[in-house]
Structure 1
Amino acid sequence: MTTTIPLPAWLTRVGVFDLETTGVDVATDRIVTAHVGVLDRHGREIAARDWLADPGIPIPDGAAAVHGISTEHARAHGRPAAEVVAQVSAALRTLFAQGMPIVAYNASYDFSLLAHESARHGVAPLVSPQPVIDPLVIDKAHDRYRRGKRTLSVVAEHYAVPLDDAHEASADAVAAGRVALALAREFALPLTAAELHTQQIGWARDQAASLTEYFIRVGRLDPAESVDGSWPIRG
């Protein structure tokens, strides 16, 4: 007989957040598209906002192939980067002020890149954003030895969450939120969002240490190097 774990009360309404960018370096790459929304307990999106930015630098062909936004399109139709960074930060700050958890898959990427963009454009940064829910960190912690990749597409499929238009900010944000809800029904998560946030800090640190050991063993890192396990903003 299958036992259904009740959904924690704090997960009945969650924010979702995703960025598509010019690359994978949080310090130097820029926002191209962004999505901030709110899901109800059933995973239905009940509020949403999207942004298209002109990042101010060329969008590499490799990045454009992933998210479908070319340099020309961003320059013609995107809003100034500083405006987008300010509005995305304000939207997230509003949800946090309401005590709403915000789901972001591989959160340390999105929140770190947003922090660097804020510094670049003179926008007030999100200081210690919380509570954050990172389905990637939670999935790794609760199902550590499952084989295979842990990309959002793969993990969404594992938890039977549909994901059409992967690498489109709104689709990825909503799918991540629905994966978070699936994880809460699969595993006994803490009773408060604050407690889960604190646990994820430790899980992310431990996961980075394990990855560091592996990379050193296979020669991808020197013994003196390490993977940054800071979460939800990298140090």
Structure 2
Amino acid sequence: MRANKYAGMCSECDTAVGIAAGQLIGIPGNWRTICLTCSPTPPPRGDHPGWHHTALASLDFETTGVDPLSDRVLSYALLDDRGHEFSGLINPGVPIPAESAKVHGLTDEALVGAPVPADALAEVIAWVQDLIERGVGLVVFNAAYDLTMLRAEASRWGLPQPDWDRLLVVDPYVIDWGIERGGLGPRRLTDVAAYYDVLLDNAHDATADARAARNIAYEIGFRHPSVAAGELENLMIRQVVWYAGRAEDWNHYARRVGRSLDDPAGWPLVQVDGAAERIA
């Protein structure tokens, strides 16, 4: 959750809350300010069974922008289920926008001499396919973005696609929405990490983000028995439903204010009908 930008009254207890002295919760078009005393906290950890007791892998990209079909991967972090971490840089062959470089610090100069996409991403795809073959769950925060970008990059460079239909994805971004229904305000990786008291010491570094995403997934499992119950295959089905609900919730607001709409069927991969020409 994020600090409130404006002074107001706590929506729970009517205490006066100064600027940045409380937190912002709610959904677009219906934000509320609460004081720190009333700030929600996650439930305690439990000892229930579930998928959170299995070793999970994690993946994160830093990229040139926010469009998974047209933007490019600049760095990657691959954390496997056996305790190994792999990371690398990629020279995308296109200029890196200044606004993106300000976020993650990756510049054209920093990537001179880095591997080209076809070589680096072939290793990433092989790593993902190995997880698929072994039935290992892959944690990706906002999977619809990262995985769609990987699919687009594979198409762009003529690389084989992973067997997407068999990939088991654990997306803390979507699961968090399924639990809270968007009621806790903005929920970027930094927000959800803070809520679950997960260390994120270098946001927008691929390795740090991948570690935090996986630890959030574990915390969600330990703290929410109903979410942890069952196999990852069952969780996949629930995430599809939750993502559709999140998209419809956003679209209700977006239609009123003239913002772009999300595809309710766009998880874990954005649908490509009519969009393939954007992959160039």
TM-score scaled by structure 2? Answer: 0.76
- Of 117, 122, 131 in structure 2, the residue corresponding to residue 81 of structure 1 is 117
SS at match of 2:61: strand
- Structure 1: runs of 5+ lacking an equivalent: 41-45
1:5 is displaced (CA, Å) by 4.2
Contact 2:52–2:218 (CA under 8 A) maintained in structure 1: no
Q: What's the counterpart of residue 154 of structure 2?
A: 118
User: Structure 2 vs 1, CA of residues 35 and 108 (structure 1 numbering), >3 Å: closer, same or farther?
Assistant: same
What amino acid maps onto 1:213 in structure 2? Answer: H
Question: What letter is aligned with 1:210?
Answer: D
1:203 counterpart = 2:245: no
Q: 1:110-189, aligned counterparts within 5 Å?
A: 110-126=146-162, 127-188=164-225, 189=227
Cα 1:11/1:103, change in 2 over 3 Å = farther
User: The residue matched to 1:178 in structure 2 has which SS?
Assistant: helix
* 2:69 counterpart residue number: 27
Residue number in structure 1 paired with 2:233: 194
Report the 3-state secondary structure (helix = DSSP H, G, I; strand = E; otherwise coil) of the residue aligned with 2:57: strand
- Structure 1 or 2, whichever has the larger Rg, is 2
Alignment check: 8 A CA contact 1:5 1:187 kept: no
* Cα distance per residue 1:173-231 (max 9 Å; x no partner): 0100000000001112231000001110111111111111111122324xxxx312311
* CA shift in 2, pair 1:3/1:136, >3 Å: closer
| 3-state DSSP of counterpart to 1:128 | helix
The percentage of aligned residue pairs carrying the same residue is 32
CA distance in 1, matches of 2:248, 2:182: 16
Aligned partners of 1:103, 1:180: CA distance in 2, in Å? 7
What do residues 42-89 of structure 1 show as CA deviations (whole Å, max 9, x unaligned)? xxxx1111020001101111111111111111123x111111111111
In the alignment, what sits opposite 1:17?
Answer: 59
1:16 alignment partner, SS class: strand
Aligned length: 225
**For residue 69 of structure 2, what is the amino acid of its counterpart?**
A
1:106–1:134 CA contact under 8 A, matched in 2: yes
Match of 1:93 in 2: 129
For normalisation by structure 1, the TM-score amounts to 0.91
2:263 to 225, 228, 232: 228
Any idea what the Cα deviations from partners look like across 1:112-148, whole Å, max 9, x if unmatched? 0000000000001123252100000000111125332
- 3-state SS of the aligned residue for 2:236? helix
For structure 2, the 5+ residue unaligned runs are 1-42, 272-280
